[in-house]
Amino acid sequence: MKIIKTLLVIFIVSFISIFLTCGKQQTAFEATNIIMGTIVSQRIYGDNSNAAATEATEKIRSLEGRLSFFKPESEISRLNSSAGRTKIKLSPDTFFILSKSIEYSHLSGGMFNIMVGPLVKRWKVTGDNPVIPSPSEVRSLVALINYRDLILNKNELTARLSKKGQKVDLGGIAKGFAADEVLKIYRKHGIKSAIIDIGGNVSVLGYKPDGSPWAIGIQDPSKKRGNYICSIMLNNKSLSTSGAYERFFEKDGKVYHHIIDPTTGYPSKSDLQSVTIIGESSVDTDALSTATFILGLEKGLSLIKKTECEAVFITVDNKIHATEKLKNMIDCDASIEFHSKKK
Ligand code: AMP
Ligand code: MG
């Protein structure tokens, strides 16, 4: 009788704790902020979610303070204003992103190129008063783009730009790095289930509390924001999208978007409307989505084959192409042509 009573007590206690755990996990802590010039949204489940979100927000703000192209006191602005003169001491985060950027410049044949800074500044696509520079001005600014002129010293943690007027802009990679840092913070707080979205760089930790994967929507480039053309089921992965529709302006019936082809100095022209890259780390998916967007479908696919990442391409004629591994993870409104990554 005593054993039965003890078992009953154990059963009731276990039931209550499972009930409480499940009950707690169902409640999400959500936070939305504007940081790094974009919308940052977090959804975190479990204990410590509030503290994890607060620390994550602080980290993104601190990164913005160091990496911003616009804030005069940022490490990047100091590097840019010292171009052709002196080297600048950097924080380890900034140094790491610059090193990663150079790695992706090599891998993409110079298409991912943070040295596009002078052109980003001149076109002002993301600002209130964008400008179409004259062809000769574009040519003179293109002459400043050379990622080999960004000199890094790993022992000193310093960087230097060789020529006056050169500028780096981390708009194509910094948000991805920030998303990776946020997941580290979540893990440190013991979080098992969370999602962070920093302006299209989405990273998911674990599964949803009900044990199913996260469904991430891919924007339909020809429809209003929030209309998805595909959804991808993911757990413990990062996803970044680059698209002409994200930031652009129109003048005399022509559309000028924010991703610059470093060889021409003009917004890139390819057969793509958007590219989504899926991988283990957001710093990689962010850089690769920008690079493949410029490269176009065929060259972009060749680049992805050299990496561990998967990709979804939406062409200007509204066709969807994806790497084969995504077959069981993706669901789209239109048919998908799958491509093997084997060479
Ligand atoms: P994303 O939305 O990640 O594709 O990044 C686009 C942003 O990256 C732009 O708004 C610029 O700040 C910057 N950018 C533009 N062209 C390039 C390029 N060729 N390589 C690297 N970054 C770029
Ligand atoms: Mg990017």
Query: Any idea which ligand is nearest the CA of 169?
Result: 1
- Report the alpha-carbon distance of residue 57 to residue 103 in Å, rounded: 28
Instruction: Report the half-sphere exposure of 28 (CA within 13 A, side-chain side).
Output: 14
250 CB-contact burial (10 Å; exposed 0-12 / middle 13-18 / buried 19+): exposed
| Cβ atoms of residues 66 and 94 within 8 Å | yes
Q: Domains of the chain (ranges plus CATH)?
A: 18-57+176-339 (3.10.520.10), 65-161 (1.10.3980.10)
Reported as a single tens digit per residue, the pLDDT across 232-265 is: 999 999 999 999 878 877 788 888 788 999 999 9
- Which of 104, 107, 116 should be mutated for ligand 1, with most atoms under 8 A from CB? 116
Q: Is the pLDDT of residue 279 over 70?
A: yes
Whether 2 shows a pLDDT value over 50: the answer reads: no
**What is the pLDDT averaged over residues 49-59?**
97
Percent of the chain residues past pLDDT 70, beyond the cut = 92
pLDDT in the model for residue 26: 60
Decide if pLDDT at 307 tops 60. yes
Hey, what amino acid is at 131?
V
d(CA 180, CA 223): 29
Q: Which atom of ligand 1 is nearest to the CA of 171?
A: 12
Mean pLDDT of the chain: 91
Neighbours of ion ligand 2 (CB under 5 A): 172, 286, 289-290
| pLDDT above 90 for 304 | yes
91-104 tens-digit pLDDT: 999 999 999 999 99
**Phi/psi-derived region of residue 264, left when phi > 0, alpha when psi is between -120 and 50, beta in every other case:** alpha
Task: Report which bound ligand comes closest to the CA of 67.
Answer: 1
CA–centroid distance, 264 to ligand 1, in Å, is 14
- pLDDT at res. 20: 40
Q: What is the DSSP letter of 260?
A: B
Query: Which one of the ligands is nearest to 284 CA?
Result: 2
Q: Average pLDDT for residues 59-74, to the nearest whole number?
A: 97
Q: What is the whole-number distance in angstroms between the Cα of residue 286 and the centre of ligand 1?
A: 9
Q: Which atom of ligand 1 is nearest to the CA of 69?
A: 12
| Partners of 45 in beta bridges | 28, 193
Q: Which ligand is nearest to the CA of 171?
A: 1
Query: Model pTM?
Result: 0.91
Q: How far apart are the first and last CA of the chain?
A: 69
pLDDT digits (tens, 9 = 90+) for 176-209: 999 999 999 999 999 999 999 999 999 999 999 9
Taking the centre of ligand 1 as the mean of its atom positions, its distance from the CA of residue 290, in whole angstroms, is 6
152-172 pLDDT tens trace = 999 999 999 999 999 999 999
Which residue ranges have their beta carbon within 6 Å of ligand 1?
Answer: 111-114, 116, 120, 126, 169, 171-172, 242, 246, 258-260, 262, 286, 289-290, 294
The pLDDT-based confidence of 18 (bands split at 50, 70, 90) is very low
Residue recorded with tokens 């708009």? 171
